[in-house]
Structure 1
């Protein structure tokens, strides 16, 4: 009897990364990303002007068209922005109660990342990189750092 040794398969398989450069992936994700973005902006009570800026500077007419009909294919930059914002939302709701989680982006923050500004002002001023920084900060807090 010949026994072959093998490591047991983990029940935790690595996550398959999504290639946002693939149009098919963006087609699959865009409508739900936009719907989630608009619900998030409502939960955070973000003004439409600021929401347009968080999307990377969208005209008023396009913004309201997207709001009415979110069935479209987003560019990599925009879908990445939405992903960071939804991750921030999720982290806040894990870290804090619902009320504080939804108000947090409007509260002045003493963390050096924000320099006394609100997280929303920081993200509006710093764009995609600021969103990434806020997301990483909150993920680190969730991890106990």
Structure 2
């Protein structure tokens, strides 16, 4: 029998935020990053709350208190996708378009003439992941 381990190295485990210890460790920095992203993109409280999947009053309380609870697996996934979009846009655009693009109407079929923010608010995590793939594809020239 031939040893094939060197041909198929073990891939790093994919982060899925399912472990409570991971969520506890990542929540503070993720929430801080999300608050900065909300500010950079100029989102309203309603938009920020919808994208994080919390009520507007909960968002305002979290933002005001500065004390996030341990974020859920879904919330961490949402933040991860949006931070990826943010990063991709800042690699793609060298000006303020990187922060304006998420709120602009988009003619691409993925957005159906709405803004990326509106489409992500409507369709949640699956759309957030699609927007991230879209930005990465455009940035990569696909």
TM-score, normalization: structure 1?
A: 0.84
Distance 2:68 2:51 in 1: 19
Select the residue among 106, 127, 130 that pairs with 1:130.
127
- Contact kept? 2:90, 2:98, Cα under 8 Å: yes
Q: How far is 1:92 from its partner?
A: 0.3
Determine which of 62, 66, 76 is the counterpart of 1:66: 62
2:115 maps to 1:118:
yes
Deviation at 1:136, TM superposition (A): 0.9
Aligned counterpart, 2:15? 18
Q: How does 1:18-97 map to 2 (within 5 A)?
A: 18-60=15-57, 62-67=58-63, 68-97=65-94
How many residue pairs match? The answer is: 136
5+ long unaligned stretches in structure 2: 1-5
Q: Distance in 1 between matches of 2:68 and 2:122?
A: 28
The separation in 1 between residues aligned to 2:36 and 2:135, in whole angstroms, is 20
Q: 1:42-73 CA distances to partner (integer Å, 9 max, x unpaired)?
A: 0000000110000113241x212322223421
| CA RMSD across the alignment | 2.1
Are the structure 2 counterparts of residues 72 and 98 from structure 1 closer, same or farther at C-alpha, using a change threshold of 3 Å?
Answer: farther
- Name structure 1 gaps, 5 residues minimum: 1-6
Is residue 20–residue 26 contact of structure 1 (8 Å, CA) maintained in 2? yes
